[in-house]
Chains A and B, each alone.
Chain A
Amino acid sequence: MKSFAYVSARDVPTAVSAIAGSPNAKFLGGGTNLVDLMRGNIEQPDTIVDITRLPLTGVDLLPDGGVRIGALVRNSHLAAHPLIRSRYPVLSQAILLGASAQLRNMATVGGNLLQRTRCLYFYDTAAACNKRAPGSGCDAIGGFNRNHAILGVSDNCLATHPSDMCVALAMLDATVEVESTRGVRRIPMNEFHVLPGDTPHVETSLAADELVTAVELPSVAVAANSRYRKVRDRASYAFALVSVAAALEVTGTTVTQVRLALGGVSAKPWRATKAEEVLLGAPATEESFRQAAAAELAAATARPGNEFKIGLAERTIVAVLRELVTKGDAA
């Protein structure tokens, strides 16, 4: 681990000015990802700005029926919160399927948004990785890439975003509130994470001096009939091969509202807008679900190691929608 300076911030203005003066500084929240990466010399910040004392821990109902979540709310707290459990069950499910109870007790909402990839080559400092060392190449492309991305990939990077929570946030059209010495800015969730393109080391639209202060969820009535499914290699403590967050409203036999997002398949939580387009107004049938899934995955590009993810993603989408129809009927 490289030596670093440590600053503890007591309020948001102190935190953002501390980071504004240090180009290679990082905020420290739960530390569940950053500290591991520092131990492995993958992250090497000069300064750590400890933000754990900031008053960003509220979960509050907004006048328009949405919910505002402070950036330092712990994952376990958010998953158990009555507002989330009743209005956004998909978010609660997604969080509880991530990591372990111990990690969820430490990890924060802001930190979850900013998690780095679990690409095996990103973690191996002897391997070429454009994300860790821009311009060094990508050993995942010709290497072991079973866990890697199939949507929005580039010739420079195949990494996936590891978060479960973010898949649900993308499906719910959340907004991320960020603050710097220049003021406050609101970023739609689907613009928060960016695709690798030629700059895979740039993972979000967050500027280096900006602090995530809150996540806001709009009021989403259809979220009451929502579900998060995670397909992985063992029953717990594993990253998603593919995950699906979905919400569905069927009126009569027609899909009148639908939201769909995928995890484990891209450098960002993947909002499945093509599938949504096919489904909206279509009959709520197995055939529509298959067509929608195929439409979304039509643009997928796979390597021999991760080709299975295309079919797996399609079948998972169909299975979740099928379940939501049944569940909606019952309700």
Chain B
Amino acid sequence: MTTTVATQGGIGTNAQRPDGALKARGEFAYSSDLWHEDMVWGVTLRSPHPYARITSIDITEALRVPGVQAVLTHEDVPGTNIYGLEHPDQPVLAEDVVRYQGEPVALVAADHPETARRAMKRIEVAYEVLPPVVNTEDAAHGRAEPLHPNGNVVRHVKVRHGPQDVRADVVVTGEYEVGMQDQAFLGPESGLAVPADDGSVDLYIATQWLHADQRQIAVALGLPPEKVRLTLSGVGGAFGGREDLSMQVHACMLALRTGKPVKMVYNREESFYGHVHRHPARMYYEHGATRNGKIVYVKARIYLDGGAYASSTGAVVANAATLGVGPYDVPSVTVDCWGVYTNNPPCGAMRGFGAVQAAFAYESQMDRLADAVGLDPVEVRIRNAMSEGAVMPTGQVVDSPAPVVELLTLVRDKPLPAKGNDLTDMPGGVSNTTHGEGVVRGVGYGVSIKNVGFSDSFDDYSTVRVRLSVIGGQAVASVHTAAVEVGQGLVTVLQQITRTELGVDVVTIEPMDTSIGDAGSTSASRQTYVTGGALRAACAAVRAALFERIGHTDLPLDHDKIVEVLGTDVIDEVVEWRHRPTYRLDPETGQGNAHVQYAFAAHRAVVDVDVELGLVKVVELVCAQDVGKAINPEAVLGQIQGGTAQGLGLAVMEEIQLADGKIRNPSFTDYLIPTVLDMPPMVIDVLERPDPHAPYGLRGVGEPPTISSTPAIVAAIRAATGMALTRVPVRPEHITETS
């Protein structure tokens, strides 16, 4: 028996975040605060055209600007001028073609950022402008000019489950569209590259995955990975938008060329060009059901616009396809999902990762089905809800709790909010748009399913080192990992797990860097599961080493005992830990145990709609989510609220406006995200149904609430207005039918 004595701040408590007070006071150092003596500033010249051939680049005049240290083009890329998260297809700097507006073409380093920007304007790039490919379906079906050597289809996933071509008494169809959403993290891309005498480089950067960055940078620089060292700098939000490279290679190139530290910081406008976005989607759905509302089949065609480069489009396509019918038992499934190249901005990871788009379509379909068979929207969902033991469209058996019915029941049974009298409770809020006349209330529901962790046979693991020593008479554990904190609270969770496992109060989290093995990405709701799992295993190894010294294992381990046994010794254990393997989807049938864990959330939205002016006030959002085990209950609530708000944004306001491949609203003045006045109070139920395969029984938390809040809000607007509303974001002109 290897018990530990619980200390303060272990798992299951609302342990305080070490970074919380600093962030609230504005004292936290973000990557944009990085500073180094003698540093110079780097800037990026980007293509103004979505699609063009480059006929020449002349840097002569730029080099003449006093204060300029270097001007670099594709000819200066020391290694291979191609990178990519899953599939290398993107140049570090464009060679003879640019495929999206904002694609990097040249770099300048100068002793002042303004000098660098002025020199950048003197670089002469001659473009032969080409008509951009912007139609996703044309790109999917060979009706557009190929933008890459293997054509425009990045991935086509087919899911064929159960008997095909079956018929049903009730059939509902729909076409749905999701606009391009931005992660809208508040800290723009920034980093500092510091060259070393031996030709190696240190990069301090806000990112989501240090080792994936390191691998790609090393190839582009032509250096062995150990000569490219990364350290995480303060991250101001990520949501998927920092999983791909932005300036990583650029800053290192400039540093190695100038021999000086190089800082790069994007402004807000450049940030819109500097990271991938959520894939816009066009989706065609057909649901067949019995007259009792039991689903007989689902057929779907889903088109995702990957933009100019692949990024993580392949994995997003697999998610949309395999999760494309939602958390329901469906005996016959026929799904085709395409992710394609176009000349739109590249799309990749964003919270919800393919599941968001599909959920808007399948939940809209569930409401249509409810209407068609005369059932309540919750009732039709409950009749079809999956549960533990269900078979997914991939053939995978769900072998842990899937409390979909319970989640739906919880949100349905909450009392409905009273009509508000305060002006700020009205649609249009403080804008005086209405005082209650013409306002109609609606209630809507959404429920979601999301895979946790990396899927589809990816070798998903994390590495953690735990060091236990006695410092000044006190036992101290230090935790070292490359898993990055992006604001979600990982550092807190790591401290809590260590306290619980080792019985020590003082836990130091060392800087996250590449001097230890890979921890995988902070994405896919996976770090508490995977790095948390690795940490638990590392703590177990430390504990075993300790008990070996004691010679027996049947006594409780507490602080004083550790101090007594350890003395001046240090125990140091490194563990690499994997979750259960996943398997590749069959390319013809989409069958296979592709996912390691599923997570579920349900929302109820109550809205007031001013039907005259088309304005929506989301009055209340209720959410129920199963998290397996809440390691930090307050942090869980924070994730649910934040994710729900991001889903609200997609439902009623957030969209990158594109015209012929160009972003028309690259600012927070024109790209609207919800403010505190748009986000209503929430009522949240957190379920803890342990997953027996996961550490502590936990389930990933971050993504599910983003997925189900959007369809719930749109369903509520439909309930209020009786309108079809097949596109998000819903705008006033959609509600008043004037567009």
Contact = CB atoms under 8 A, between A and B. Distances in A.
B738 A312 contact: yes
Contacts of B731: 233
A120 B738 contact: no
A38 to B, nearest CB: 12
A315 B613 contact: yes
Interface in B712-727: none
Contacts of A97: 430-432
Q: How many interface residues does chain B have, given as a range?
A: 35 or more
Contact of B432 (A120, A124, A228, A234): A228
Contacts of A178: none
Nearest to B657: A144
Given A235-B675, A236-B675, A236-B677, A143 B433 contact: no
Interface in B213-271: none
A30 B293 CA distance: 62
Contacts of B677: 234-236
Contacts of B657: 120, 144, 146
A61 interface: no
A231 B610 CA distance: 11
Contact of A319 (B613, B674, B739): B613
A163 interface: no
A231 B665 contact: no
Interface string A268-299: 00000000000000000000000000000000
B674 A227 contact: no
Interface stretch (A42-50, A191-199, A200-208, A303-311): A303-311
A307 B678 contact: no
A1 interface: yes
Main secondary structure of the interface of B (DSSP, over half): loop
Given A93-B432, A97-B431, A234-B653, A315 B612 contact: yes
Contacts of A308: 614, 732-733, 736, 738-739
B738 A237 contact: no
A11 interface: no
Given A144-B657, A144-B659, A319-B438, A312 B431 contact: no
B65 to A, nearest CB: 13
Given A231-B433, A311-B736, A316 B672 contact: no
A236 B672 CA distance: 10
B615 to A, nearest CB: 7
Contacts of A1: 114
A97 B433 CA distance: 11
Given A312-B614, A312-B733, A315-B612, A230 B432 contact: yes
Interface string A309-331: 01110011011001100000000
Interface string A138-172: 00000110100000000000000000000000000
A273 B385 CA distance: 59
A118 B667 CA distance: 11
* A interface, size bucket: 35 or more
B53 interface: no
A118 B669 contact: yes
Given A143-B664, A144-B657, A229-B432, A234 B675 contact: yes
A238 interface: yes
A143 B430 CA distance: 31
Contact of A233 (B432, B732, B739): B732
B114 A323 contact: no
A93 B678 CA distance: 20
A113 interface: no
Contacts of A146: 657
A235 B431 contact: yes
A145 to B, nearest CB: 9
A241 interface: yes
Given A230-B431, A235-B677, A319-B434, A118 B670 contact: yes
Interface string B653-673: 100011110001101011010
Contacts of B674: 234
A322 B437 CA distance: 10
B429 A235 contact: yes
Interface in B626-678: 652-653, 657-660, 664-665, 667, 669-670, 672, 674-675, 677-678
B672 A234 contact: yes
Interface in A201-255: 227-239, 241
A126 interface: yes
B428 interface: yes
Contacts of A124: 664
B43 to A, nearest CB: 14
B122 interface: no
Contact of B672 (A93, A121, A144, A238): A238
Given A233-B732, A312-B736, 12 more contacts: A1-B114, A120-B657, A120-B670, A146-B657, A228-B432, A231-B613, A236-B429, A236-B430, A236-B677, A315-B613, A315-B736, A316-B613
The 5 tightest CB contacts between A and B, nearest first, are A308-B733, A235-B429, A308-B738, A235-B677, A126-B48
22 contacts: A1-B114, A97-B430, A118-B669, A120-B657, A230-B432, A232-B431, A234-B674, A234-B675, A235-B424, A235-B428, A235-B429, A235-B430, A235-B617, A235-B675, A235-B678, A236-B429, A236-B675, A319-B434, A319-B437, A319-B438, A322-B437, A323-B437
